[in-house]
Amino acid sequence: MEPYTLSRQEPFLTIQKIGHYVSFFVLTGLLYTCLKKWRLTLIICFSFSIALEIIQPFFNRDGRILDIGVNQLGIISFLMLFMIVNRRGNRMAK
């Protein structure tokens, strides 16, 4: 795995990182909708994020540690947003 380096491709890499974030945000939302268990969703999504970057070198791609971090930021963002919205909904229902 390679660290993130700045280059002339920086705009492309920025868009790619946004894609990683959004993809894992959506994946987490969809998986949570099916499982209804946030801890299991977190474990599965984190594991998938790490496994995806580890296997990329076997398919002529490069796995990056930064991608794992961005993926996990998307995962955590969804779960935190969901918990905040859920708590507000519970307070308003009372």
Domain extents in the chain: 10-93
pLDDT tens for each residue of 3-27: 555 555 678 788 999 999 999 999 9
3-state secondary structure (DSSP) of residue 87: helix
Using the 8-state DSSP alphabet, how is residue 32 labeled? H
Q: Decide if pLDDT at 74 tops 60.
A: yes
Query: 26: which 2 tokens?
Result: 């959506």
Give residue 38's identity as a one-letter amino acid code: W
Q: With bands split at pLDDT 50, 70 and 90, how would you rate the model's confidence at 1?
A: low
Residues 6+ apart with CB under 8 A from 23: 71, 74
The 3-state secondary structure of 36-66, one letter per residue: CCHHHHHHHHHHHHHHHHHHHHHHCCCCEHH
Q: Give the residue-averaged pLDDT of 31-44.
A: 97
pTM of the model: 0.82
